[in-house]
Amino acid sequence: MALSREHKKMATNRRNLITHNEPRSPISEQYRTIRTNIQFSSIDETIQSLMVTSAGPGDGKSTTVANLAIVFAQQGKKVLLVDADLRKPTVHYTFLLDNNKGLTNVLTKQVTLVDAVNQSDIENLYLLTSGPIPPNPAELLGSKSMEDLLEEAHQQFDLVLFDTPPVLAVTDAQILANKCSGTILVVNSGKTEIEGATKAKELLLSAKGKLLGVVLNQKKAKDSQYYYYYGGK
């Protein structure tokens, strides 16, 4: 039986959850290293919310944030992964969920956060899909409703992670950057140009985002470790 495009996309994204499917792999170990570096990047305050973005599309930010959410959950933290990419959402594909209600419904007060959150099949990991794609993503993310959602989520979860659109494509990530405890920028080795990565960094910092570091994605090395983390700005 032939698979539809939707089912193929779900299957492909599901395979990207290496920290769940292959927790002993070298790549999974690199995600745990990233987790450790994030935890040590902010000594004086607890990181309650973390935004993961990229310079451009296809750099791997959605795969990165999903796996980071898993390794934090594996550590025993109660984690909420929010799909704040209200233009090209993927969390519902990755975790095989419907997307009839989600973030946009919460922000427009159609449902409560509790009613919209899904419990995943991974212990301690909870998911808030994007919900229906709105005509005004930037306005929703910058609204008072988003501040209210963050405040409520901080009370219910140890860590909230946001998957946001690429920085150079739209302003959404910049709007959310200063609302989160920290930001991780994902760049793709051999694909992301230095100029683009530098511009993305400048935009995040100008938006008063706290850039914790950069994940270099798809960097092939002799020891088969593909993900590296560089702290600092």
pLDDT per residue as tens digits for the range 37-89: 998 887 777 899 999 999 988 889 999 999 999 999 999 999 999 999 999 99
What's the 3-state SS for 77-138?
CCEEEEECCCCCCCHHHHCCCCCCCCHHHHHCCCCCHHHHCEECCCCCEEEECCCCCCCCHH
Mean pLDDT value across residues 206-229: 70
Contact 78, 157 (CB under 8 A): yes
Residue type, 232: G
What per-residue string of b and e applies to 168-192 under the rule 16 or more CB within 10 Å gives b?
bebebbbbbbebbbbbbbbbbbeeb
What range does the domain containing 124 cover? 5-231
This prediction has a pTM of 0.87
> pLDDT digit string (tens) for 166-209?
998 889 999 999 899 999 999 987 767 788 889 999 999 999 98
Q: Percent of the chain beyond pLDDT 70?
A: 86
CATH number, position 26: 3.40.50.300
* 112-117 long-range contacts, CB within 8 A, separation 24+: 113/149, 113/152, 113/153, 113/156, 114/156, 117/80
What per-residue string of b and e applies to 65-96 under the rule 16 or more CB within 10 Å gives b?
bbbbbbbbbbeeeebbbbbbbbbebbbbbbbe
Contact 132, 105 (CB under 8 A): yes
Distance of alpha carbon 24 from alpha carbon 158, whole angstroms: 25
Q: Which of these, 202, 196, 210, 230, lies nearest to 50 by C-alpha position?
A: 210
Q: How many domains, the chain?
A: 1
Could you tell me the end-to-end alpha-carbon distance of the chain, in angstroms, rounded to an integer?
50
